[in-house]
Amino acid sequence: MSHGQQSCNRLAERRILITGAASGIGLATARLFAAEDAHLALLDRDREALERIASELGAHAAAVELTEESQIREAVAGSASALGGLDGVVNVAGIGGGTFVESMRLDDWNRVLAVNLTAPFLVCREALPHLRHAGGGTIVNVASGQGLLPSSPSLSAYAASKGGLVTFSKAMALELAPEIRVNAICPGVVDTPLLPAQMRAAARAPGSGYALKRVGEPEEIAAGILFLTSRESAFVTGIALAVDGGRTYH
């Protein structure tokens, strides 16, 4: 347990793989899940930060470049073997980037799609035999409010990748029910290293689409991910849960 959180053991005995665990929302999720007694496998390409957090939490760590299929295959297999199986997956890793459509190079487009959409597909595909072997499980994919309602010019590749991830999650929920629940979570602007300064300012501005007039904290997204991973959401599958200060509800 860390950060003075009260453990309710909501993830006791659950073996969960989290990508993007070295920073931001993934890091907050790893800390919250550890406080809820989960057994964790943490994946990220930032080896140094990853090893620090894994040692803080007593978790298994795998440094992995998520655009490489063979590295994903190896990291998921190694995680399942280290934890003795898998009961849950949380795909958090993602990147911003992209630019205006007219000046976007194919490489920029492909990179955003590779990290934000193809990598979650590959992680899910590799984890599924382990979830099935465990008798079922949960998948949570961290998409974005941009995938529900794009709000900024120059984010089309990002919005497309996240909209794709929402739809992929819903399609998987249908395919994998009733044994495996699959949900997406769609954060609004959250205070992490990914967040461009102008988006932080825009969220706070009077008249912005953010009803709550502030940016979110990584822990507030982690709380939603915990809900979708724990038994508290046992009757929930195929949703895209907006945790966005009220940007997309109207």
Out of 33, 109, 158, 168, pick the active-site residue: 158
- List 184's β-bridge partners, or say none: 141, 240
Which residue number, 23 or 134, has a Cβ lying nearer to ligand NAD?
23
Identify whether the C-beta of residue 203 lies closer than 8 Å to the C-beta of residue 245. Answer: yes
- Which of 10-18, 82-90, 131-139, 191-199 is the region at the interface with ligand NAD (rule: CB under 6 A)? 191-199
Rounded distance between C-alpha atoms, residue 181 and residue 169, angstroms: 10
- Which of 8-16, 41-49, 131-139, 204-212 is the region at the interface with ligand NAD (rule: CB under 6 A)? 41-49
56, 65, 69, 179: residue in contact with ligand NAD (rule CB under 6 A) = 65
Identify whether the C-beta of residue 73 lies closer than 8 Å to the C-beta of residue 48. Answer: no
Contacts of 96 (CB under 8 A, 6+ apart): 112, 155, 158, 194, 196
DSSP per-residue codes, 93-127: --------GGG--HHHHHHHHIIIIIHHHHHHHHH
Nearest-approach distance from CB 96 to ligand NAD, in angstroms: 7
18, 38, 61, 93: residue in contact with ligand NAD (rule CB under 6 A) = 93
Residues numbered 110 to 129 that lie near ligand NAD (CB under 6 A) are 115
Q: Would you call 210 a catalytic residue per the annotation?
A: no
DSSP annotation of 135 reads T
Identify whether the C-beta of residue 129 lies closer than 8 Å to the C-beta of residue 176. Answer: no
Binding mask 2-31 for ligand NAD (x = CB under 6 A): ------------------x-xxxxx-----
- Which of 10-18, 100-108, 166-174, 192-200 is the region at the interface with ligand NAD (rule: CB under 6 A)? 192-200
Q: Which two tokens stand for residue 107?
A: 């490489």
Residues near ligand NAD (CB under 6 A): 20, 22-26, 44-46, 64-67, 92-95, 115, 142, 144, 187, 189-190, 192-195
Which are the catalytic amino acids?
158
